[in-house]
A = this chain, B = another copy of it.
């Protein structure tokens, strides 16, 4: 089981957007992260569809977060990119074969599906506990210099 690479890019985008003093063009975000514009456009579209970022039109237009980074969780971003469906999909294997459980005995999920769902919820709960603002603070604390400040300035500067 592997998350798509888009999750890493989307989370990094959200964190750097917390440091930008204005809207950031998609091309600038792609350049900063050293990824192709089309690849990043896909992630930004996913974030936009989930209403986590929005595109501001105009000369100095670009992407901004739609709400304070305290109010965006890591789970919001992961689900924007990966979807909200559970990591475990039960195909009701118990209802197949010669000793199949009859449908009327299968109104509740099977014990195996329940166990997998508990673990899925634990994963999501851990991702829900951390906000994009938390990530910004953590990333900032990892370096001696004000990395995010520098990134923020660069993102909205005119030079290519």
Contact = CB atoms under 8 A, between A and B. Distances in A.
Contact of A101 (B4, B5, B87, B143): B143
Given A1-B1, A90-B8, A126 B119 contact: yes
A50 interface: no
Contact of A126 (B90, B122, B143): B122
A98 B1 contact: no
A59 interface: no
Contact of A96 (B35, B91, B112, B116): B35
A15 B111 CA distance: 10
B122 A139 contact: no
What is the total number of copies of this protein in its complex? Answer: 2
Interface residues of A, number: 61
A37 to B, nearest CB: 13
A113 B93 CA distance: 35
Interface of A: 1-5, 7-9, 11-12, 15, 31-35, 74, 82, 85, 87-91, 93-94, 96-101, 105, 108, 110-116, 118-120, 122-127, 130, 135, 138-139, 141-143, 147, 150-151, 154
B127 A96 contact: no
B142 A110 contact: yes
The residue among A88, A101, A151 with the most chain B CB atoms within 10 A of its own CB is A88
